[in-house]
Amino acid sequence: MTYQKNKSALLWRRVGWALFVVLLLATGAGLYGAWRILWRPNVEPSPFGPAYLYIRTGGTYQDVLDSLERHELLQEPATFRWLAERKGYPAQIRPGRYRLDSNLGNDALLAMLMQGRQDTLEFVLDAFKYKPQLARQMQHQLEADSTHLRRLLGEQYRLQRQYGVDTTTVLTLFIPGRYRLVWNTSAQQFLDSMAAHHRRFWTQQRQRRADSLRLSPAQVHVLASIVQRETTKPEDKPVIAGVYLNRLRRGMRLQADPTLLWAIGNFGVKRVLNKDKLVDSPYNTYKHKGLPPGPITSANRQSLDAVLKPAQHDYLFFCARPGGSGYSDFAASYAKHKQNARKYQRWLDSLKIKR
């Protein structure tokens, strides 16, 4: 009898252990399945750094899946789809540029996408001369529609009411440099952002400097655009700015070659001819006194500050220095300037540069 009881107890213990093991395995399998679906890193690692998922405005859930598959961004797309559909992501698509680090699991990835926590990008604004060039720069780096931006840049009333500029001076809002923007910035948001950066540039100190020169901020931008086209040498910029300011104070014409090249629509020429100076344009500073009506390029911070802090001197003339160094020779008298100009012209002749 005792033997039977012991045998029965042993059997039940074995059954209990078996059930415990089965339960433990089932729990382990469940935990593993949950870990695999929710938290296991699912972004395909890359030796080139983090991947990016771009979701266009108006994009659908299928667009997201197609992009993930086409660019092979996930290790297990099926687990992502399974969790996404149970979390309701197909009805919560948010456009943007999302950074996919390799340690992201499905749960964290979906939380980021559903909350719209997109990554910003570094938008590089290069100097430009014409509005279509700006529109192309924007379209190459952002989702925004370049046609919409060009339309906004041509709306005179809106520009005056919102930004205090017109269709001619609107280029003064754009200061070349590096900016942080979200990829799905619209054309209107882009314009607002550039205008906000412009306002931040114009501190009270810079405004006081402009006032001391008897120039408005827009006029500072116009003069800085000329200085920028004249030289790339930082040390020459304040000196050239001083030359033009001396001319303005004396009521002399600026006679700035870059404005003439803007008027004839050809910045590529090496030599300005007398016939070029006859062109009928308000940008022809050989014919018209004062500053041209608008900038001939988007002036960067260095050029703007060169105008706001010009070198103090009595120079009224300058010309490019022979040798192609990019520096200029300055003169206070026209006679000295003619000597400098002849040296430069002889150097051009030696290179057989006629135009």
| Residue 266 confidence (pLDDT) | 80
Residue segments in the chain with a per-residue pLDDT below the cut of 70: 1-36, 355
**Which of 12, 14, 295 is CA-nearest to residue 173?**
295
> Does residue 127 belong to any structural domain of this protein?
yes
- Does 91 share its domain with 162? no
To 5 degrees, how large is the angle CA 131–CA 181–CA 195? 50
- Does 208 share its domain with 304? yes
Checking DSSP bridges between strand 177-182 and strand 120-125, what pairing results, if any?
antiparallel
- Does 308 share its domain with 223? yes
Kindly report the backbone phi and psi dihedral angles of residue 215, in degrees, each rounded to the nearest multiple of 5, phi listed first: -125, 145
Residue finishing a domain among 148, 176, 201? 201
- Does 224 share its domain with 159? no
Residue 323: left if φ>0, alpha if ψ -120 to 50, beta else—which one?
left
pLDDT in tens, 24-77: 444 444 445 555 677 799 999 888 888 999 999 999 999 999 999 999 999 999
- Does 100 share its domain with 161? no
| Residue 29 confidence (pLDDT) | 47
| Residue 355 confidence (pLDDT) | 67
Provide the residue range defining the domain that includes 222: 204-313
- Does 210 share its domain with 274? yes
* Residue 187 CB neighbour total at 10 angstroms: 22
Total of domains in the chain: 3
Residue finishing a domain among 61, 95, 115? 115
pLDDT in tens, 193-242: 999 999 999 999 999 999 999 999 999 999 999 999 999 999 999 999 99
What is the C-alpha to C-alpha distance for residues 201 and 304, in angstroms, rounded to an integer? Answer: 10
> Does residue 165 belong to any structural domain of this protein?
yes
- Does 299 share its domain with 212? yes
Kindly report the backbone phi and psi dihedral angles of residue 305, in degrees, each rounded to the nearest multiple of 5, phi listed first: -70, -25
> Does residue 329 belong to any structural domain of this protein?
no
